[in-house]
């Protein structure tokens, strides 16, 4: 049996000291930095930040692609005694202005094109600076040494995508982020021999952990801003990548590529979060990457990661989200507050040291999501009440049922969007699907399905209604099917349910 991971917490910037000095730590385009070089560069950047923003625990923001500075800022900011606020590079002016104003950031580091999109009021109290100028100043300084941060000190504020309103800033401590890195590196089995391709946004908790867990293990990170899925495949070949973390829409695109056998065989680890895998996609990934171990996972920004499914169980339980990750207690709470029985649906509640510190300057929304753990909890303390509906089977494996606030209420029935989506994909006619409930005077809500065909689009359009009528009860069969050549994605790479709902509810003609 593998030994339990060490729960000792160090300041986050100590991750730069984990690897062997001359071992590769960061591969940015054609440049490879060793751990010794990584630590020095982080120290120089920290020295510059401390001089530029001398106020302790002030917020500093980055709005960048996966550049060298963007990768180092999570560690450099805390080494300087500051709090990092990463902004997703896909966000636009209004969203960026909200994050800068809400966080009270004193500094924004970005590139010239992004900086030019902002007006002075958008920056609020922040000074805008270009990335090249920051490095020019930092490289002239002696590096700061490792910090002595306290585990509960605030290290970062990660803003959610705002799918249910304005983005909320989730407050993460050194302990949250350090133990998240330890946990993931442990159950994935990452080693110093691994090269992890970082394709997810670094402003995304799952994306940022690509850096932190790899550096904890002493491996190398290869950041990639890709334009097409084929760019990912080329990067695997070019950099001898062993591990990719992705979300379902990207995995679907990668599975559809014609991979050279030798390139596909390089991947030892495939990890998924940010949405449930369907059984057809699981089978496609198993066939395409037969040498790789597939890790389905579930998480939420407020607690980073909650569960993972051991790869040895994926074949028999392809749609399960598994069991609790190290340092975590996962409970299924019935509607009456007791622990749900096996196969009884309830709310997923997460307790333990990965639970975030709440939402930045938002006591009301913090109180709605962060509440004391239920009485039967073993760890107790503050817990995240996810709002997600799950069930635990007789073997102790968890299965996602849907979000409580996403349930469709039609003709007096409560319908899980995921159940409709799964049925559509299971027909073999649909590659991706989103089920939505739109206002309807007779039904309360009518089920609309937005879908991308898996093969011949004309054949799918003709056959899907009948196939769904056979597979689902009448009240769950979509009233309208909207076909798309491409499905829209949110800034975090997930299917954009909110955007689709807004578009369709405004009566925009579709398919």
- Its pTM stands at 0.86
Mean pLDDT of the region 481-485:
97
Mean pLDDT of the region 16-24:
97
Q: At 349, is the pLDDT very low, low, confident or very high (cuts 50, 70, 90)?
A: very high
Mean pLDDT of the region 75-83:
98
The CB density around residue 238, as the number of other CB atoms within 10 Å, is 12
Q: At 160, is the pLDDT very low, low, confident or very high (cuts 50, 70, 90)?
A: confident
> Could you tell me the domains of the chain?
407-505 (3.30.300.30)
Q: Which of 401, 209, 431 is nearest to 321 (CA)?
A: 401
At residue 508, the pLDDT reads 39
pLDDT digits 0-9 by tens, 252-291: 999 999 999 999 999 999 999 987 888 999 999 999 999 9
Mean pLDDT of the region 2-22:
95
424 has a pLDDT exceeding 50: yes
At residue 142, the pLDDT reads 98
At residue 164, the pLDDT reads 41
Contacts of residue 42, Cβ cutoff 8 Å, sequence gap at least 6: 13, 16, 72, 75, 76, 79, 143
pLDDT digits 0-9 by tens, 296-343: 999 999 999 999 999 999 999 999 999 999 999 999 999 999 999 999
Percentage of the chain beyond pLDDT 70 is 98
The CB density around residue 86, as the number of other CB atoms within 10 Å, is 25
Which segments of 13-76 are extended strands (E)? Answer: 24-28, 31-34, 59-63
Task: Give burial (CB, 10 Å; 0-12/13-18/19+) of 377.
Answer: middle
At residue 109, the pLDDT reads 98
Average pLDDT score, the chain: 93
Q: How far apart are the C-alpha atoms of 417 and 410, rounded to whole Å?
A: 12
């Amino acid at each position: 049996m593998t030994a339990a991971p060490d729960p000792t917490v160090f300041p986050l910037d100590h991750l730069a000291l984990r690897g062997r000095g001359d071992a590769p730590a960061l591969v940015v385009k054609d440049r490879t930095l060793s751990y010794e070089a990584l630590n020095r560069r982080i120290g120089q950047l920290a020295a510059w930040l401390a001089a530029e923003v001398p106020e302790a625990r002030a917020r500093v923001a980055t709005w960048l692609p996966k550049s060298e500075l963007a990768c180092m800022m999570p560690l450099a900011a805390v080494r300087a005694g500051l709090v990092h606020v990463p902004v997703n590079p896909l966000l636009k002016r209004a969203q960026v202005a909200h994050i800068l104003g809400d966080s009270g950031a004193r500094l924004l580091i970005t590139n010239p094109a992004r900086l030019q999109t902002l007006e002075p009021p958008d920056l609020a109290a922040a000074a805008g600076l270009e990335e090249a100028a920051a490095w020019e100043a930092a490289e002239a300084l002696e590096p700061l040494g490792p910090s002595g941060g306290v585990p509960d000190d605030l290290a970062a504020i990660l803003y959610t995508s705002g799918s249910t309103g304005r983005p909320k800033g989730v407050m993460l401590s050194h302990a949250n982020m350090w133990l998240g890195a330890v946990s993931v590196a442990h159950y994935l089995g990452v080693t110093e021999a691994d090269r992890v391709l970082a394709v997810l946004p670094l402003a995304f908790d799952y994306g940022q952990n690509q850096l932190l867990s790899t550096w904890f293990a002493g491996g190398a990170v290869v950041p990639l801003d890709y334009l097409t899925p084929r760019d990912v495949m080329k990067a695997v070949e070019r950099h001898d990548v062993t591990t990719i973390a992705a979300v379902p829409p990207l995995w679907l695109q990668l599975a559809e590529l014609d991979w050279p056998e030798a390139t596909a065989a390089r991947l030892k680890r495939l990890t998924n979060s940010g949405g449930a895998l369907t059984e057809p996609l699981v089978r496609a990934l198993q066939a395409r990457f037969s040498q790789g171990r597939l890790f389905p996972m579930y998480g939420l920004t407020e607690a980073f990661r909650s569960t993972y499914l051991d790869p040895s169980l994926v074949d028999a339980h392809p749609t399960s989200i598994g069991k609790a990750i190290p340092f975590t207690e996962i409970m299924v709470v019935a509607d009456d507050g007791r622990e749900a029985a096996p196969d009884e649906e309830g709310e997923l509640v997460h307790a333990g040291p990965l639970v975030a510190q709440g939402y930045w300057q938002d006591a009301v929304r913090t109180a709605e999501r962060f509440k004391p753990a239920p009485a039967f909890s073993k760890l107790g303390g503050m817990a995240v009440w996810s709002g997600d509906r799950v069930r635990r089977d007789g073997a102790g494996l968890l299965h996602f049922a849907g979000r409580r606030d996403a349930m469709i209420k039609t003709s007096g029935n409560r319908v899980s969007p995921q159940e409709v989506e799964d049925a559509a994909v299971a027909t073999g006619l649909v590659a991706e699907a989103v089920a939505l409930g739109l206002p309807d005077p007779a039904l309360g809500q009518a089920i609309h399905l937005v879908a991308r065909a898996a093969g011949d689009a004309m054949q799918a359009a003709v056959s899907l209604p009948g196939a769904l009528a056979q597979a689902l009860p009448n009240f769950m069969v979509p009233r309208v099917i909207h076909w798309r050549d491409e499905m829209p994605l949110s800034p975090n790479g997930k299917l954009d349910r909110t955007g689709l709902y807004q578009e369709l509810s405004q009566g925009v003609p579709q398919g």
